[in-house]
Amino acid sequence: MTGTSLVPSVSSEWIKFRSVRSTVYTLLTTFVLCVGFGAIATFATRSRWGQEGFVDKLTFDPTRTSLAGFTFAEIAIGVIGVLIVSSEYSSGSIRTTLAATPRRINVALAKAIVLFVTTIVVAELCSVISFLVGQAILSGNASIPTASLSQSDPLRAVLLGGFSLALLALLAMGITLMIRHTAGSITTYVGILLILFIVVALLPTSWNVHIFKFLPEVLSESMRSATSQGSQFHTFTPWVSTAILACYAIAALIGGVFMLVRRDA
């Protein structure tokens, strides 16, 4: 597989990606959820700051608070990862795509490149704007600590926060390459992201305390946190969390490519 042979596939996938209205709308939804809910959460924190306990104030992370909208944006970004694959299967156009590009691994790789580049640009934009809006809201109360992008930990949290959304989009894409159906893929993705979290929470504390830190939702929270203080979970360091989430995405894509190559369209 050469870079030259991949260029037409990437160009074709980009045209298809931006021509599907649902993907554009979902990207806008991701932005609104990320910035909007982040602002709401930050404003709520500012409003009740006087009632917070000493420990809560001591472990307060203004960066994580500003990026609280990511919890909702993770669902929307997963839908984008699903649609880049399932929209072709639902319309039947996947047969045309595979006929034009017989080497199926090129098709999957081109889709992954387009998805990753698009989502990371949007996600980083969401992350930076959410952070700036959140810090502007918090600065309205002089007693609340704020953060700045000139500080290394907040900057790392903001950048990794955007990266986490792009990785989750790839995870959703890998799932869809295996399942093919929109509803089933979204259900599986949400199940891994949220339902699995609830199931683990029901386990005995001696068990779930060791499992939580491996869950995608907790990994992404660790990535967008400037400090581990104040988190309700025992987490890995942000860089280890990034590596684990990347492994999940890569594993899903490898499984998806394997199924794409082995099965008929």
Q: In this structure, which amino acid lies at residue 191? A: G
pLDDT at 231 over 70: no
State the average pLDDT over residues 252-265.
Answer: 89
Q: Report how far residue 168's alpha carbon sits from residue 123's, in angstroms, rounded to the nearest whole number.
A: 11
CA distances from 122 to 127, 139, 152, 160, 162 (A): 9, 26, 22, 13, 8
Task: Return the sign of the alpha-carbon dihedral for residues 148, 152, 153, 159.
Answer: positive
Confidence of residue 30 (pLDDT cuts 50, 70, 90): very high
Tens digits of residue pLDDT in 165-223: 999 999 999 999 999 999 999 999 999 999 999 999 898 888 888 899 999 999 999 99
Looking at residue 1, its pLDDT comes to: 42
Q: In this structure, which amino acid lies at residue 12? A: S
Q: Report how far residue 144's alpha carbon sits from residue 34's, in angstroms, rounded to the nearest whole number.
A: 22
Lowest mean pLDDT segment, chosen from 47-56, 61-70, 171-180, 195-204: 47-56
Q: What percent of the chain has pLDDT over 90?
A: 66
Q: Which of 262, 264, 260, 263 is nearest to 108 (CA)?
A: 260
State the average pLDDT over residues 148-175.
Answer: 96
For 183, the domain range is 3-262
Q: What percent of the chain has pLDDT over 70?
A: 96
